[in-house]
Amino acid sequence: DTDKEVELVRKKALEAGANGAAPSECWAKGGEGAMELADVVLKALKIPKKRKELYEDDTPTREKIELFATKIFLADGVEYTPEAQSKLRLFEKLDFRADGKQLTVNMAKTHLSLAHDRTMLGVPRHYKLPIRDMRASVGAGFYYPLCGVFPTMPGLPTKPAFLPVDVDPETGKIKGLIS
Average pLDDT of the chain is 91
* Predicted confidence (pLDDT) at residue 99 exceeds the cutoff of 90: no
Angle at 94 between CA 93 and CA 96, to 5 degrees: 125
Listed in sequence order, the residues at least 6 apart from 1 whose beta carbon sits closer than 8 Å to its beta carbon are 9
Instruction: Give the per-residue SS3 of 92-144.
Output: HHHCCEECCEECEECCECCCCCCCCCCCCCCCCCCCEEEECEEEEECCCCEEE
pTM (two decimals): 0.64
Q: What is the mean pLDDT of residues 149-165?
A: 78
Q: What is the mean pLDDT of residues 84-88?
A: 98
pLDDT tens per residue, range 103-156: 999 999 998 999 999 999 989 999 999 999 999 999 889 999 999 888 787 766
Domains and CATH numbers, the chain: 3-45 (no CATH), 61-146 (3.10.410.10)
pLDDT for 153 equals 76
The CA distance from 131 to 109, in Å, is 10
